[in-house]
Amino acid sequence: MKYLLIFFLVFNSLQALGQLNIIPQPVKAEIKQGNFIIKENTGISISGEELRPSLNFIQEYLKKFYGFSLKEQSGNTEGIQLILHSKNKGAESYTINSGNNRFIIEAGDAAGIFYGIQTLIQLLPPKKSSTLTIPLVTIEDYPRFKYRGLHLDVSRHFFPVDFIKKYIDYLALHKMNSFHWHLTDDQGWRIEIKKYPKLTSVGAYRNGTITGRFPGTGNDNIRHGGFYTQDEIKEVVAYAADRYIQIIPEIEMPGHASAALASYPQLGCTGGPYEVQQTFGVFEDVFCAGNELVFEFLQNVIDEIIPLFPSKYIHIGGDECPKTRWKQCPRCQKRIKDNSLKDEYELQSYFIQRMEKYINNKGKTIIGWDEILEGGLAPNAVVMSWRGEEGGITAAKSGHYAIMTPTSHVYLDYSQTRNEDSLTIGGYITTEKTYSYEPVPEQLTEAESKYILGAQGNVWTEYIKNPAKVEYQIFPRATALSEVLWSKKEDRNWESFKNRLMVQFDRYKLWNASFSLAIFDLKDEIIPNKDSTGLLWKLEKPVNEGRILFKRGNGNFIPYTMPVELKESDSLTATLEINGSPSTLLKRTFHIHKASGKKLYLSSPPSPYYTGKNGAYGLVDGILSEKGRSSDEWLGWYGMDVRILIDLGRQSEISSVIAHLLGMESDHIYFPDFMEVEFSDDGKNFTAGGKTSEVDVQSFHMGLMGISFSPIATRYIRISFKNPGIIPADKPGAGNKSWLFIDEILIE
Ligand SMILES: [Zn+2]
């Protein structure tokens, strides 16, 4: 947000090249000679009253952003004509034909007309003006996926009705049709349930929120909360319906239930007391699966939810439900026994299937996070695959529908720039990464791939406290996702999208919406020099325009012409200069040591999920993560030891070996039990060099583990790390394997 705004490709120059700047890219679009002019009192007509929402939408858009309205007229003579036509087939499809004095949108259904209106909006110049000139076009268009969605978590932080409507408009403007409203969680219950007033009088408020990233550095002690009345919900649902958007409410069960338990403690296994949580993560207190009162409660809640939301789907969560309480609860254990269930996972399955049956009987289908696959999938459930794609693949292969929302590509709460500019939950997903997402996994046959309904961007709000930050997190990644979901797979092209995005940046400004300019971040690579005796810093422009500048320390920027040689530890900064102004800054602090750029070998490759930015070589690339987990430097090994062999190339004198490690227990990442160092001159016969289990813990859950010794001459150094193995019962992630994370081995 602090970036200097630079726009070097202007709308008119692009159109002069005969390029249309429509996002998402239409199936077929042709630009013709001539223009169509839209100004005050340009006529608009509809072929029937069912098209009024489309007419209202364009009228409100023009009024709000350009300051004028169209004149509604009847008959098809001139101006903008919206026509339902039986010749148009295919749900949500439309065609546009324009001439000097007419602009005709035709479709077989009202939603198609609405998407034609969105395309018209994309053709408008993104600068306020009283006369809007748009090129003449012929367009034929329809969506690739049926389900095109965005999610918003209003529990971790509450967002008012006005912003929810704005968010729905953002979906509409991107031809998306599903809004997943995450209404209940540990940190707040956000929907009025008349039968249980304490859900909102107690459950909608917490007495503080942690400061900093979980587990936090303190508490702000500020009461936070809010909820939507049923009248407000109806108003929002109607608003969305006018934009052809279904709202899918999420009522979390059996986990993420703290706010409900704080309101009605008898619904938990222990009876409480419970509180609306002030911190984040996963909590052990969940709905008791052995108590009939819980099912009665949830069924009554569902009975009030169903009439409010016309969508055929109800999301019931089902994720991150620890089994600790159920294991100790006599009622839960009795339920397991009475129903001949194998364990607590089957008890979770019993819980979900029982609720599914109830919801199915009311004519609705459930959606659940991919954990609902554990212990047997409910028969008609739709799976939302978030922990990678496996959930979606398993669902599709067993004939269940799936919606893809993997953390790898579409978690829009993750950082989108390496130089994180404000606190986020961590992770690192660039706009290009989101754009590269393919919702249909390769492993599926053509028949199976029909079960992939589409995909959705998720916006969890632990670290998103206000509307501007929501916008900043979703733009431009939601815009990239809209093209993934709407446009034909073979038409997707990052270079083309990037060019069209320049105009969309101006449109965000027109909307007065916040957005990230991280796509101007320079790309860099640290490579060994040609004889592996040192490091080079190679920089690459993300766009064609501009030139790269760099500086050492506090020096002056100078033009970059070739990879920069790194001879000693130093901080370097690079930027992309466009039209004489620098854009985003790329800062790197290099730690140059005796192993920098040297050859190395791993006993086993890291997990494909954590390969580090530079692969194995990243362990000697001179870069140490400065912000913990959010860095892409880490190499991670799951449940296994690792041994690293470094070849210094020739005998060299050394006196210390230090590893830079991550120990973030909440994410199941643990420091190694110990590290052991050995030396060799031939790479075959080794002598012991020392062993340590001490960690010097530093900021962001990082730490240094290492040994010092009297100077010794050696060519090879072998370092072994002992993975702590299965996580013990009293630690986060108990029962799972430990991750081992390393990003640099420093040798002096
Ligand atoms: Zn229980």
How do residues 176-230 score in pLDDT, each as one tens digit? 999 999 999 999 999 999 999 999 999 999 999 999 988 888 999 999 999 999 9
The predicted pLDDT at position 5 comes to: 41
Between CA 456 and CA 406 the distance in angstroms is 9
Between CA 362 and CA 317 the distance in angstroms is 18
| Across 320-327, average pLDDT | 95
The predicted pLDDT at position 1 comes to: 32
Q: Tell how far the Cα of 642 is from the centroid of ligand 1, in angstroms.
A: 41
Pick the range with the lowest mean pLDDT from 53-67, 246-260, 511-525: 511-525
How do residues 605-617 score in pLDDT, each as one tens digit? 999 889 888 788 8
Q: Which residues are catalytic?
A: 185, 256, 320
Residue of higher predicted confidence among 567 and 71: 71
Check pLDDT > 80 for residue 15: no
Q: Tell how far the Cα of 335 is from the centroid of ligand 1, in angstroms.
A: 9
Helices (H), 416-532: 431-435, 446-449, 467-474, 477-486, 494-511
**Amino acid in the structure at residue 68:** F
How do residues 262-285 score in pLDDT, each as one tens digit? 999 999 999 999 999 999 999 999
How do residues 497-555 score in pLDDT, each as one tens digit? 999 999 999 999 999 999 998 988 898 999 888 877 789 999 999 888 889 999 999 99
Check pLDDT > 70 for residue 37: yes
Q: Tell how far the Cα of 324 is from the centroid of ligand 1, in angstroms.
A: 10
Q: Are strands 547-552 and 452-457 parallel, antiparallel or unpaired?
A: unpaired
Helices (H), 547-614: none
| Across 129-154, average pLDDT | 97
Q: Tell how far the Cα of 268 is from the centroid of ligand 1, in angstroms.
A: 7
Whether the ω angle into residue 26 lies within 30 degrees of 0, i.e. cis, is no
| Across 371-388, average pLDDT | 88
- What contacts 623, CB < 8 A, 6 or more positions away? 526, 588, 589, 590, 591, 633, 743, 744
The predicted pLDDT at position 131 comes to: 97
Q: Tell how far the Cα of 270 is from the centroid of ligand 1, in angstroms.
A: 7
| Across 581-596, average pLDDT | 89
Q: Tell how far the Cα of 227 is from the centroid of ligand 1, in angstroms.
A: 28
Rg (CA), the chain: 28
Q: Tell how far the Cα of 628 is from the centroid of ligand 1, in angstroms.
A: 37
Q: Tell how far the Cα of 204 is from the centroid of ligand 1, in angstroms.
A: 24
The count of residues in the chain is 748
Average pLDDT taken over every residue of the chain = 93
Q: Tell how far the Cα of 359 is from the centroid of ligand 1, in angstroms.
A: 22
Handedness of CA 733, 258, 214, 456 (dihedral sign): positive
Task: For helices 330-338 and 344-361, give the axis angle rounded to 10 degrees.
Answer: 80
Share of the chain above pLDDT 70, in %: 97
Between CA 369 and CA 51 the distance in angstroms is 36
The predicted pLDDT at position 420 comes to: 64
**Amino acid in the structure at residue 431:** T
Phi, psi dihedral angles at 142 (to 5 degrees): -160, 160
Check pLDDT > 60 for residue 160: yes
**How far from 491 is each of 148, 149, 338, CA to CA, in Å?**
18, 20, 56
Q: Tell how far the Cα of 56 is from the centroid of ligand 1, in angstroms.
A: 52
Q: In which band, very low, low, confident or very high, does the pLDDT at 9 lie, cut at 50, 70 and 90?
A: very low
Between CA 14 and CA 33 the distance in angstroms is 15
Side-chain half-sphere CA neighbours of 487 within 13 A: 26
Check pLDDT > 80 for residue 733: yes
Between CA 245 and CA 222 the distance in angstroms is 35
Share of the chain above pLDDT 90, in %: 83
Residue 709 tokens, joined? 């010794």
Q: Tell how far the Cα of 205 is from the centroid of ligand 1, in angstroms.
A: 25
What's the pTM value of the predicted model, to 2 decimals? 0.83
Between CA 110 and CA 93 the distance in angstroms is 9
Q: Tell how far the Cα of 377 is from the centroid of ligand 1, in angstroms.
A: 22
How do residues 84-136 score in pLDDT, each as one tens digit? 998 888 999 999 999 989 999 999 999 999 999 999 999 999 999 999 999 99
Per-state percent for the chain, helix, strand, coil, to nearest 5:
25, 30, 40
Q: Tell how far the Cα of 323 is from the centroid of ligand 1, in angstroms.
A: 10
The predicted pLDDT at position 545 comes to: 80
Between CA 427 and CA 289 the distance in angstroms is 34
Q: In which band, very low, low, confident or very high, does the pLDDT at 155 lie, cut at 50, 70 and 90?
A: very high
